[in-house]
Amino acid sequence: MADSNEQIVRNFCAAMSRRDLHELLEFFMEDAVYHNMPLAAVKGRDAIAQVFKQFVSPAEEIDWEIVNISSVGDVVFTERVDRFVMGGKKVELPVAGVFEMTAGKISAWRDYFDMATFTNQAS
């Protein structure tokens, strides 16, 4: 199961580059929790969609590089470099992500990153 959970997370990260909100939301359980640690957690696909609209929709390009990935049971850990082009500006953000999986879907996702690193590059 760990291998398939890791593959699902790999597929999700790769899907970010296509910026298709419908496709991205299909990776989540209906009542999933998404927490970008500098911000408040949100629950449910509709709330996750609203967060995605803040950075997926306006991005001209997205590329998430998985530097390291590991899993224990239904928990997948990632070390990533999330790259965006937004308003013509390039943003490169080191991120540590934790994905909790249930029945092949993301049931919880927490990303840890420095918000100042993002805002300094995006502004």
Residue positions counted in the chain: 123
pLDDT recorded at residue 1: 57
Residue 82 is a catalytic residue: yes
Alpha helices in 1-123 (DSSP H): 2-15, 21-25, 45-55, 115-122
pLDDT recorded at residue 44: 98
Residue 111 is a catalytic residue: yes
Are the C-beta atoms of 86 and 122 separated by less than 8 Å? yes
Q: Which of 31, 46, 63, 111 is catalytic?
A: 111
Rounded-to-integer distance, Cα 104 and Cα 6, Å: 10
3-state secondary structure of 16: helix
Comparing CA positions, the residue from 104, 101, 89, 8 lying closest to residue 55 is 89
pLDDT in tens, 90-106: 999 999 999 999 999 99
Please give the CATH number for the structural domain made up of 2-122. Answer: 3.10.450.50
Q: Is the pLDDT of residue 2 over 80?
A: no
Mean pLDDT of 45-58: 94
pLDDT recorded at residue 117: 85
Q: Which of 3, 31, 63, 82 is catalytic?
A: 82
* Domain limits, the chain: 2-122
